[in-house]
Structure 1
Amino acid sequence: MTSDTNRKCLCTSSDLHAVNATGQEPIRVAQIVGKMVGGGVESVVMNYYRHIDRTKVQFDFLVDEDSTRVPEKEITSLGGHVFRIPPYQHPIRYRHELIRLMREQQWSIVHSNINTLSVFPLSAAKKAGVPVRIAHSHSTMGKGEFAKNAMKLALRPFANVYPTVRFACSHYAGEWLFGKNADFTVIPNAIELDKFRFNAGVRQKTRQELSIADDTFLIGHVGRFMPQKNQTFLVDVLADLLPKRPDTMLAFVGDGPDKSAVQQHAIELGIADHVLFLGQRSDVNRLYQAFDVFCLPSLYEGLGIVAVEAQVAGLPCLLSDAVPMEADVTTKSHFLQIADAKPWSEVLSNLTFPDRSGHVNGDIEEYDIEKQAVNLLVKYKDLFKGIKKH
């Protein structure tokens, strides 16, 4: 991109109107994803994009210009476009650019994935005359993060003002944002189930790559390093567990602003040699195979799709009681309070390990991306038909 088109996609209007085999243009949906920094929400949107029938529906991505992990080459190769816009922290520029883009590109559907902040792009979409405006709740809130929570509480009353359609990743997330009596549709954070199912050969190879001995007890966690994910608590859990199980290692997968603080906490407790920081990985499915247990001590979650992924891999899961019960797709997960590390270390020290080679029972199939991508396609098509009728 050239400097004078930094906030615009370098494509012509004809580029945006490729036709499918029936001679019809695919429905183009503007996906508002905010900052793409390797977090869970953008992963969910990209997963749907990879599996939806793109001859019938195409995604364009509106991302904050300070995003650090935009899969632009992949999006372009799949037929989509990336539009970089000012972040919402610059509200006048942000709104002006959104209205300009929406009028220029004439999207019929705008799908906002930024929770309470959706009020900003959806108000601009209404101003620009976009007929279908989707607000998608992917999260809730919990203790801590005072400034962020204050903003959420201030914006939540406007959650139902601008959308014409409401989606949520779970019933809990939908009720939190839109209200218990609100009309919303749950769109599961679906995944490639076969990609995550247990494979003994992959487990052995991955543990060798990580230099993890067969008899080492490996605790796994996947998540961006930020206050919500509460990783320092897991370090406290490890410190309490090591006297009982000195063969334990803790592996963190992800990146983020709190990573150095978590590393420092492990050093201060004298257990840094029992902690692995594996960084942002594209092979998380393989890492689940190497783990013996999965822990998610979040302060809040809209769902906690990583817990679902871990269960598909046959892992026992310890989840905070702030994670929605809907995440327990096998009905075998442990839900624990995060006020004290001792109950977590006690469960871990007494944990029995299931046979991971068999079929995982539960509501796993609900999270099949192949099935859910078709369902989302039908929803977009029905919404588009509704526009044509009017």
Structure 2
Amino acid sequence: MPRRIKVLQLQPDYNVKAHDFADLAEQIVKALPGERYEVVAAFLRGKPQPGEPVSRAARSVYFEFADKQLKGLRLRAMWQLYQFCRAEQFDVVICNRFKPVNMMLQLNRWLKIPLCIGISHGFGEYDRFYRRRQARRLIDTAWRFVGVSPAVKQYLLDCACGFTEHNTVAITNAIDIEQAAALQHSREDARRLLGLDPNARLVGALGRLVPVKGHTYLLQAFAKLKDIYPQAQLAIIGKGREESRLLAEVERLGLGGRVHLLGFRENALQYVRAFDIWTMPSLAEGLGLALLEGMSGHLPVIASNVPAMLPLIEGAGGIAVPPADVDALSQALNSYLQLSDEQLQAKGEQAYAYLCANHDIETFRQQYRQLIDESLSQASASQ
């Protein structure tokens, strides 16, 4: 029986969820069957508390580095990671986000792991000159890079620092549609659990309350329509440092009782069917996973036309608007709010059909298996 391929998946933080419908790292673990691959999950920071879920990988390792140990030269952390990898003799290391990629770029000069895969989840990771210079110096034939959308892949290529058409691919994030559907409450139950009006025409959004998510522009756009559509309400699931400012904006715009900041909700996807219209007014996104989550609930979508999301919006038959453009966002909301329930539902079914055809989780898994197998074959042939 041939030796199993030994894979390390390295992540910056412990963040494993009980439900992995949209967890890229756990879906990669599921993509690698145990009879062919031995997968180890490692986390630079954090560890699960009693009762919290663990990775589905065969084994999990928690380095529990302090924040200060992962800044600057990171000598102690680098030495521990080097010793670990040298002892384990991995065939593949998959690095999620910049810090693990950066550390392995340096360490693989000595480790000589045959295949290293760096996954970029968004823009800006290589904007700094010294990061581009380091990447240009350290990227070699062992490396492959994944952008979570075609736009992120193009960002990497445009950095001109070692990312090429040969070593860089786009594997678009996906969600486990079947698992997502099983989690979702009915429209009536979701509204009851959230404490929302069962009869309102409800606009929804999901995301951290931070400036880049653009919620303040959504509030302003909704305020322009509040008198035209007295039955319309807006609800946002998420928490963050912008909460107090958004609450003040709700008060300033006279939206008390019409806007609901619902805070953090565990497995927020379960509530998606509470809404009639799904919005994502972000100023920037790597992919916009919440957009896919809205589509999984059979909802019509309105979102910013940033490069990572525009193809998704157009494919789903949604409305794309310029970021931070209150008038355009208000017009888009008006376009959907004036539709009948049946017309809105038809728009939602169009979005769901697009999701099933283009962001199926099995396609995502196949693409990662193919990337690993083909890259290892190329590495073996070149030896």
1:330 aligns with 2:315: yes
Tell me what 1:289 maps to.
273
CA distances 1:219-264 after superposition (whole Å, capped 9, x unpaired): 2222233333233332323333323323333222234444444344
- Shift of residue 115, structure 1, vs aligned partner: 4.1
CA contact (8 A) 2:16 2:54 kept: no
- Shift of residue 277, structure 1, vs aligned partner: 3.3
User: Separation in 1 of the partners of 2:126 and 2:378?
Assistant: 36
User: Separation in 1 of the partners of 2:302 and 2:8?
Assistant: 37
CA distances 1:114-138 after superposition (whole Å, capped 9, x unpaired): 1487333322233332221112222
1:53 aligns with 2:33: yes
Q: Secondary structure at the match of 1:221?
A: strand
- Shift of residue 173, structure 1, vs aligned partner: 0.4
Q: How many residues align?
A: 360
TM-score (norm 2): 0.79
CA distances 1:33-68 after superposition (whole Å, capped 9, x unpaired): 223568999822123334542443344333342x48
Tell me what 2:73 maps to.
91
Instruction: Report 1:245-264 matches (<5 A).
Output: 245-264=229-248
Tell me what 1:349 maps to.
334
In structure 1, list runs of 5 or more residues that go unmatched.
1-22, 142-147
Q: Call closer, same or farther: CA 1:62–1:305 in 2, change over 3 Å.
A: same
CA contact (8 A) 1:197 1:314 kept: no
For 2:359, the aligned partner's letter is Y
Q: Secondary structure at the match of 2:233?
A: strand
Q: Secondary structure at the match of 1:136?
A: strand
Tell me what 2:24 maps to.
44
User: Separation in 1 of the partners of 2:154 and 2:99?
Assistant: 13
1:177 aligns with 2:156: yes
Instruction: Report 1:1-390 matches (<5 A).
Output: 26-36=4-14, 43-50=23-30, 52-65=32-45, 67=46, 73-76=52-55, 78-84=57-63, 85-87=65-67, 88-93=70-75, 94-115=77-98, 118-141=101-124, 151=128, 154-159=130-135, 161-162=138-139, 164-179=143-158, 182-183=165-166, 184-196=168-180, 202-324=186-308, 325-328=310-313, 330-351=315-336, 352=339, 353-355=344-346, 356=348, 360-362=352-354, 364-389=356-381, 390=383
CA contact (8 A) 1:240 1:341 kept: no
User: Separation in 2 of the partners of 1:114 and 1:226?
Assistant: 20
Q: Call closer, same or farther: CA 1:274–1:169 in 2, change over 3 Å.
A: same
Q: Call closer, same or farther: CA 1:105–1:72 in 2, change over 3 Å.
A: farther
CA contact (8 A) 2:318 2:351 kept: no
Identity of aligned residues (%): 19
CA contact (8 A) 1:86 1:97 kept: no
CA contact (8 A) 1:193 1:368 kept: yes
Tell me what 1:145 maps to.
none
User: Separation in 2 of the partners of 1:218 and 1:379?
Assistant: 42
CA contact (8 A) 2:205 2:280 kept: yes
For 2:60, the aligned partner's letter is H
- Shift of residue 176, structure 1, vs aligned partner: 0.1
Q: Secondary structure at the match of 2:6?
A: strand
CA contact (8 A) 2:32 2:369 kept: yes
For 1:29, the aligned partner's letter is V
For 1:311, the aligned partner's letter is M
For 1:27, the aligned partner's letter is I
User: Separation in 1 of the partners of 2:256 and 2:32?
Assistant: 43
- Shift of residue 265, structure 1, vs aligned partner: 3.7
In structure 2, list runs of 5 or more residues that go unmatched.
none
CA distances 1:273-303 after superposition (whole Å, capped 9, x unpaired): 3333334434433322111111112121122
CA contact (8 A) 1:217 1:292 kept: yes
CA distances 1:85-131 after superposition (whole Å, capped 9, x unpaired): 34432432433333232223322212122148733332223333222
For 2:187, the aligned partner's letter is R
CA distances 1:123-164 after superposition (whole Å, capped 9, x unpaired): 2233332221112222114xxxxxx8864x652454454261
CA contact (8 A) 2:6 2:38 kept: yes
Q: Which moved more, 1:155-164 or 1:215-224?
A: 155-164
User: Separation in 2 of the partners of 1:303 and 1:251?
Assistant: 22
- Shift of residue 194, structure 1, vs aligned partner: 2.6
CA contact (8 A) 1:320 1:337 kept: yes
- Shift of residue 339, structure 1, vs aligned partner: 3.4
Q: Which moved more, 1:178-187 or 1:106-115?
A: 178-187
TM-score (norm 1): 0.78
User: Separation in 2 of the partners of 1:200 and 1:76?
Assistant: 23
CA contact (8 A) 2:299 2:349 kept: no
CA contact (8 A) 1:170 1:326 kept: no
For 1:95, the aligned partner's letter is M
CA contact (8 A) 1:300 1:322 kept: yes
Q: Secondary structure at the match of 1:299?
A: coil
